[in-house]
Amino acid sequence: IADVKGGPNEGLDRVGQTVVVMGWVRTLRLQSSVTFMEVNDGSCLSNMQCVLNPEAEGYDQVDSGSIVTGASVCVQGTIVESQGSKQKVELKVNKIVLVGQSDPSYPMQKKRATREFLRTKAHLRPRTNTFSAVARVRNALAYATHKFFQENGFVWVSSPIITASDCEGAGEQFCVTTLSNECYYASAVMTIILFQDFFGKPAFLTVSGQLNAETYATALSDVYTFGPTFRAENSNTSRHLAEFWMIEPELAFADLNDDMACATAYLQYVVRHILENCKEDMEFFNTWIEKGIIDRLTDVAEKEFVQLTYTDAVELLLKTNKKFEFPVAWGCDLQSEHERYITEEAFGGCPVIIRDYPKEIKAFYMRQNDDGKTVAAMDLLVPRIGELVGGSQREERLGYLEYRLEELKLNKESYWWYLDLRRYGSVPHAGFGVGFERLVQFATGLENIRDTIPFPRSPGSAEF
């Protein structure tokens, strides 16, 4: 359907051609002498309006009620100019084949089902306008991500999913074990399962590929990872998932300023990409999900981002009359309400980069600033979501890093390979992590992060 209707004149150049459309019936309107059937194949938001006369081969299946909403069909016909106002062209059908019937219990018939309801139907929700549009825009953002880094000379590195280290040190890891050595007692009702230590030491699902990316950056210069990451944080919010995808570039011979410049260029590039390449879907989000999102994203792609230090951000929060649930003081971690105030209210919807956070609230690997109190960290905040990107310049000085590990009572031995990178040809380097689902949320206007990934994983929910 995109092939026919996706061009600049919405299919008018294809008038007179014979085409075959294969897809799923969205609606069926039977009139006395003619039947209108909307078919969607997911290639674009638009349906193909199929006009069926009783002369069409296979029409009896429409007549007998075999072809209904949800059924899959294969339709052959001629592209003709449409009399209707909704589309430029339609398909005058000469043959229709029912490929797969649809049971009357098909739950996607109701128009405007709530997104809460659709979350319980994750296997069928991609057949709706919203979720097919999200899937296409998510795909375009992934494509643009690779395109941006490849065009800028970065090498894509696959970081492991199973790991022994806790990059962020927050203890939010899922444990990996095996289900072998099951002992069944013939007469017992109870089954005892013994967990075997497969890796010889505790292993976890990764919270971040950064430490692994650093090993490749200190050999190939500029690299990035793009893969699934996992966090067992028990936060049932609209911006946290237990399984989410992260994009983590790592730049060698780079400092925090280079890092912020890269994050800005990346975000502007991918936003521009979807505005240019996903026009139909973006119009849909603009109308149905978040009014004005196209204008706001256009601003993001074109305007400079605001930059301020953590210390200035705290000062700004202390000065406002706004009441926050969590009180602010220098040294506190900024909460979502603070981040949103800064980007939405203080700076009118512009993305804001906050830098130089207190070292106590950041991870062990961040480079200490000369003041001894702060680290060269940065968070990029956007309206509605708050933190979209988190990054830093890494501590490349062996002595400082060892001291920090000791200070935090982390097991220095288990970081032997990470410390080696500082022992053999250490270089200033920096990187950041983009939460891919938060990026999809930002780009589509969706309120809940669970609607940005096909099969969301959150506390108490791992069906499908």
Q: Which residues bind ligand 4AD (CB under 6 A)?
A: 167-168, 208, 210, 231, 233, 240-241, 244, 246, 248, 387-392, 431-433, 435, 437-438
For residue 208, the minimal CB distance to Mg ion (Å) is 10
390 touches Mg ion (CB under 5 A) = yes
Task: Give least dist CB 441 to ligand 4AD, A.
Answer: 9
Indicate the residue among 387 and 447 with the shorter CB distance to ligand 4AD.
387
Tell whether residue 435 is a contact of Mg ion (CB under 5 A): no
Per 3-state DSSP, the chain is made up of helix, strand and coil in percentages (nearest 5) of 35, 25, 40
Q: Which of Mg ion, ligand 4AD, none does residue 231 bind (CB under 5 to 8 Å by kind)? A: ligand 4AD
The piece of 58-66, 107-115, 180-188, 384-392 that touches Mg ion (CB under 5 A) is 384-392
- Measured from the CB atom, the residue of 23 and 383 that comes closer to Mg ion is 383
Task: List the structure tokens of 155.
Answer: 């090498």
Which residue's CB is nearer to ligand 4AD, number 38 or number 396?
A: 396
Separation between Cα atoms, residue 450 and residue 48, nearest integer Å? 29
Of the pair 101, 235, the CB lying nearest ligand 4AD is at 235
Shortest reach from residue 433's CB to ligand 4AD, in Å: 3
| Residue 240 interacts with which of Mg ion, ligand 4AD, none, CB < 5 to 8 Å by class | ligand 4AD
- Minimum Å gap between C-beta 96 and ligand 4AD is 44
* Residue 140 contacts which entry, Mg ion, ligand 4AD, none (Cβ below 5-8 A, type-dependent): none
428 vs 435, beta carbon nearer ligand 4AD: 435
DSSP assignments along 174-207, one per residue: PEE----SEEE-TT-S-EEEPPP-TTSS-EEE-S
Angle between the N-to-C axes of helices 279-288 and 293-302, in degrees from 0 to 180, rounded to the nearest 10 = 120
- Closest separation in Å from C-beta 242 to ligand 4AD: 7
Between β-strands 72-81 and 18-30, what pairing exists: parallel, antiparallel or unpaired?
antiparallel
Angle between helices 416-423 and 210-220 (to 10 degrees): 30
Q: Which residues pair with 400 in a beta bridge?
A: none
Q: What, of ligand 4AD, Mg ion, none, does residue 58 touch, CB below 5 to 8 Å by kind?
A: none
Q: Cβ closer to ligand 4AD: 389 or 443?
A: 389
Picked from Mg ion, ligand 4AD, none, the partner binding residue 293 (CB below 5 to 8 A depending on kind) is none
Would you tell me the crossing angle of helices 279-288 and 256-277 to the nearest 10 degrees? 90
Min dist CB 381 to ligand 4AD, Å, is 9
Residue 435 interacts with, from ligand 4AD, Mg ion, none (CB under 5-8 Å by kind)? ligand 4AD
CB of 364 to ligand 4AD, least distance (A): 11
- Least distance to Mg ion from the beta carbon of 250, Å? 16
State in angstroms the smallest separation of the CB of 246 from ligand 4AD.
5
The three-class DSSP label of residue 439 is helix
91 Cβ neighbours under 8 A, 6+ residues apart: 19, 21, 48, 49, 50, 51, 75, 77, 78, 79, 80
Closer residue to Mg ion, CB minimum distance, 262 or 282: 262
**Which CB atom, from 49 or from 343, has the smaller least distance to Mg ion?**
343
In the block, tokens 């935090």 appear at 408
The 8-class DSSP code of residue 224 comes to E
Tokens of 398: 């062996």
Looking at the Cβ atoms of 108 and 380, the one nearer to ligand 4AD is: 380
Smallest CA-to-CA distance from 211 within 177, 163, 244, 175 is with: 163
DSSP secondary structure string for all residues of 378-404 = EEEEETTTEEEEEEEEB---HHHHHHH
Q: Which does 456 bind (CB under 5 to 8 A by kind): Mg ion, ligand 4AD, none?
A: none
Residue 339's binding partner, choosing from ligand 4AD, Mg ion, none, with beta-carbon cut-off 5 to 8 A by kind? none
Residue number, 35 or 452, with CB nearest to ligand 4AD: 452
- Torsion region of 171: left, alpha or beta (phi above 0 gives left; psi -120 to 50 gives alpha): left
Output the smallest distance, CB 387 to Mg ion, in A: 6
- Does residue 70 contact residue 100 with C-beta atoms inside 8 Å? no
Count of residues that bind Mg ion according to CB under 5 A = 1
Question: What ranges in 7-90 are assigned the alpha helix state H?
Answer: 60-63
Q: Which stretch binds Mg ion (CB under 5 A): 363-371, 382-390, 408-416, 424-432?
A: 382-390
How far apart CA 454 and CA 42 sit, in angstroms, is 15
Phi first, then psi, for residue 246 (nearest 5°) are -130, 145
Interacting residues toward Mg ion by CB under 5 A: 390
